[in-house]
Structure 1
Amino acid sequence: MKTLIAAAALSSLVAGSAFAAEPATGTMANGAMANGGITMADHATATIHYVTVSPADIMSSKLVGQDVYNNQGDKIGNVADLVIDNGKTITGIVLSVGGFLGMGEHYVLIEPSSMVLSDKNGLHGVVDTSKDSLKNAPAFNYKKS
């Protein structure tokens, strides 16, 4: 049951509900209208809106750094980051895979629906893949800054 709740939480992040319960609107620096997402500007012009967190929502701080396993129970990496499209929707999960003690690791970018969350023996991600498949996956050019 807890795994189902965790999967629902990830789904709600994909849908963007964890970021805004009610869309905020305002004018961005270039004159375009914001549509509820985080925008880039030097000054905020949108009216502040407060939201609530539902029991199915999960915080990004709980995901980043979590181990990721395959269905066979092999640890294949960890969640390095989340890709947020247009400042409001999670469109990708950056996984750090391969390597040992930071040497030889590389990054792959997967769709959020490719991973489920499990809280059996502590929160972690599970994907249906193998270590060999990840070695041959397209590398994501990720630079932490």
Structure 2
Amino acid sequence: MKNIVITTLVASAFLAGPALAQDKTMQKPAADQAGQMKTPPAGTAMPSSADAMGGMTMADTATAKIKFVTARPADVTSSKLVGKNLYNNKNETVGEIEDLVIDNGKTVTGVVVSVGGFLGMGERYVLVDPASIFLHRADGKLKAMVDTDKDTLKNAPEFKYDKKNS
């Protein structure tokens, strides 16, 4: 079987399926002929740089025509990552991937990892840079790995995360 190692979590790998952006991306409203700034009607989405670059936009209504894309063989969907155990180089479980943080509907900027605890008690969350997580695919299974130990993750700055209200 051919092994594929993906060295970084690329935003396009996660954005092949739907996800939610964290907040609205707004640009200045256009000026009318007299140079006065126009205010868009309530509920109208402002164009953003994400629109031109393929990202998602927060809005009250959808204003862009739907487009379809093709996933590449190395792409990974978020559903394949969320819930995966995170292993270190000694093949020890050091955490579990809980969620992804997506900036402006385009770029994965963090991976929420639960560490510590037992049966959901005493668990805490840390936010890991996607570039520090490596993926390995063997025998049709995906494995997420980091170069760290349990203590380093347990002592990392806590990320305030509520699974129930995310």
User: What TM-score does the superposition give when structure 1 sets the normalisation length?
Assistant: 0.81
113-122 or 51-60, which deviates more: 113-122
Aligned-residue sequence identity (percent) comes to 51
CA distance in 2, matches of 1:77, 1:18: 20
CA distance in 1, matches of 2:55, 2:79: 19
Unaligned runs of 5+ in 1: 21-26
- Residue of structure 2 equivalent to 1:62: 80
Greater relative contact order: 1 or 2 (C-alpha under 8 angstroms, separation 6 or more)?
A: 2
The alpha-carbon deviation at position 30 of structure 1 amounts to: 4.4
Q: Is the 8 A contact 2:112 2:126 kept in 1?
A: yes
The structure number with the bigger radius of gyration is: 2
- Residue of structure 2 equivalent to 1:19: 15
The alpha-carbon deviation at position 19 of structure 1 amounts to: 3.2
Q: Is the 8 A contact 1:70 1:128 kept in 2?
A: yes
The partner residue of 1:29 within 44, 55, 62 is 44
1:108-119 alignment runs, 5 A limit: 108-119=126-137
The alpha-carbon deviation at position 18 of structure 1 amounts to: 5.5
- Residue of structure 1 equivalent to 2:161: 142
The alpha-carbon deviation at position 104 of structure 1 amounts to: 0.7
User: Which protein has the bigger strand share?
Assistant: 1
100-109 or 122-131, which deviates more: 122-131
Q: Please tell me the root mean square deviation across aligned C-alpha atoms, in Å.
A: 2.3
- Residue of structure 1 equivalent to 2:150: 131
| Structure 1 residues 57 and 17, CA gap change in structure 2 (3 angstroms) | closer
CA deviation profile, 1:77-108 (whole Å, cap 9, x unmatched)? 11000111110111111101111111111111
- Residue of structure 1 equivalent to 2:105: 87
- Residue of structure 2 equivalent to 1:23: none
